[in-house]
Chain A
């Protein structure tokens, strides 16, 4: 009797394991609904702002500020005739870059921070994660820190983080104050290379 019962359950299960296909428009409907939801980068920004952190303003901060102003002035002179869009593109494309086989583009980020021990890049493209391994800048000498990393094509907000504590906007790029949180970040436009 037990064997018969077992056989019956197996036959039922076998029948029920057959695929139940969804309508052909299912994926499109889900993705349409998903696209209407806020992008995750913004959610991460909120998490970042809520996350406990220490911001220490030390002499290093003043040094950074001076270095940033100097670099900004230098680049400003180089790009005096650029309009705001051009400057936006310059922040992503100013430095040598781009060998793209995917929609992501290689973008070089540079910050002059003579007193820094560590510099990383955070943005909506890496979840505002200062520990992200691909966005850790290297010291190139003379206080210049840089990293070249993959960034998806499109508009982005980003910032530098110095010594895991001090957030510094890119002096070479336009800034935007987030309406929701009152924080200034740099902006850039990454374009697909032809």
Chain B
């Protein structure tokens, strides 16, 4: 079943084979964990959002209109979960939690330099407005086209381009401050 298409697995789950859903979890977990991590800033929140997205997807699976594109549908759910969780946390005190594990794992080549560089990026990303961060991550990290981004987020292409541009400007500004400071 590992090699089956998403549509085949979705069909099995809809026929009552709950365990088949585990294949979809394994298939999309890693890529989407990365997105959630960048949007929420720490591993614990990212896993909470991702788990929530998977369980919501399972519950609403019968409403997945194109099972062959289950991944895109799940991603849309995750984007919304990250928005909700991010907004909830935004109302709390803004304290950036550095994920030490992620930094260490990202620092294999030159530990000291790469850790510092990664930390700077994470901090700068965290300081972006949520809508700009979302657009930037989809464009540059997930490498999506604007049409696909628009379909996923429900935001117009022009607005997305503007958000990406603003995000890039802000990141340059923030990271230049670090290097010049």
Contacts and interface: CB of A to CB of B under 8 A. Distances in A.
A194 B43 CA distance: 45
B140 A44 contact: no
Given A15-B117, A20-B46, A22-B30, A29 B15 contact: no
B70 to A, nearest CB: 14
B20 to A, nearest CB: 10
B168 A39 contact: no
Interface in A126-157: 126-127, 152, 154
Nearest to A16: B141
The majority secondary structure among interface residues of chain A is helix
B137 A27 contact: no
A47 B62 contact: yes
A39 B18 contact: yes
Interface residues of A, number: 35
B59 interface: yes
A37 B58 contact: yes
Contact of A5 (B43, B54, B105, B172): B172
Contacts of B117: 15
Contacts of B171: 8-9, 12
B62 A44 contact: yes
B153 interface: no
B13 interface: yes
Given A40-B62, A125-B15, A27 B22 contact: yes
A127 B105 contact: no
Given A15-B106, A23-B47, A124 B26 contact: no
B62 A15 contact: no
B33 interface: yes
Interface in A2-21: 5, 8-9, 12-13, 15-21
Interface string A45-61: 00100000000000000
B166 interface: no
B94 to A, nearest CB: 21
B175 to A, nearest CB: 7
Interface in B31-46: 33-34, 37-38, 43, 46
Contact of A41 (B15, B34, B46, B168): B15
A47 B63 CA distance: 11
B76 to A, nearest CB: 18
B121 A40 contact: no
Most A-side CB within 10 Å, residue of B14, B15, B34: B15
B30 A152 contact: no
Interface in B109-124: 117-118, 121
A125 B54 CA distance: 22
A40 B47 contact: no
B55 A34 contact: yes
B26 A27 contact: yes
A29 B51 contact: yes
23 contacts: A8-B172, A8-B175, A12-B121, A12-B140, A15-B121, A16-B34, A16-B121, A18-B106, A19-B105, A20-B43, A21-B105, A22-B50, A23-B47, A26-B51, A30-B25, A31-B21, A33-B55, A39-B16, A40-B16, A40-B61, A40-B62, A44-B62, A125-B15
